[in-house]
Amino acid sequence: MKIVYIIVRVLLGALFLFSSIAVLFNLVQEPELTGNFKVFNEGLKASGYFITLLKLTELVCALAFLFGRFVPLASVIIAPITINIFFVHLLLAQDGLPIGIFVVLANAFLGYYNRSAFKPLFVPVYKNEV
């Protein structure tokens, strides 16, 4: 199970590392987008900061995955991004759906593998204990 964990962690880290570096440094030409996906992407770019913030977050989490440091924290931070990737590909750009499925399942697996790190978060705290 540990070998599977390392493989999934490294694959997810490499995927986010390469995608974030490619966008941050304009290494690949963006494909021609159409329809609602084009509108969605233009809206994100119109904010002026969001794509950069997103890719920097992906880069930091990718490095955590690749180096095996703070993996539970990186998994929590990247979770909303992976869910969004899945739904964007499910609803707007179906051609990338396999990648969306992979990132959600890989992050869920990392969360499950590191479930002991999250156990204290699910302990109820009562008012008189605070």
Decide if 20 contacts 62 (C-beta within 8 A).
yes
Neighbours of 70 (CB within 10 A): 16
Helix pair 97-113, 2-24: axis angle to 10 deg: 130
Interatomic CA distance for residues 28 and 36, integer angstroms: 22
Instruction: Identify whether 123 is part of a domain.
Output: no
**Residue 127 pLDDT:** 75
Interatomic CA distance for residues 33 and 38, integer angstroms: 5
**Residue 129 pLDDT:** 64
**Residue 31 pLDDT:** 86
Q: State which residues form the domain around 75.
A: 1-117
Residues in the chain: 130
Cβ neighbors of 52 (< 8 A, separation 6 or more) are 24
Neighbours of 88 (CB within 10 A): 17
Decide if 59 contacts 17 (C-beta within 8 A).
yes
**Residue 130 pLDDT:** 59
For the chain, which ranges sit under pLDDT 70?
129-130
Of 54, 123, 38, the residue nearest 88 (C-alpha) = 38
Instruction: Identify whether 52 is part of a domain.
Output: yes
**Residue 30 pLDDT:** 85
How many structural domains does the chain have? 1
Instruction: Identify whether 129 is part of a domain.
Output: no
Helical segments of 25-120, H only: 35-46, 50-67, 71-91, 97-113, 115-118
Instruction: Identify whether 92 is part of a domain.
Output: yes
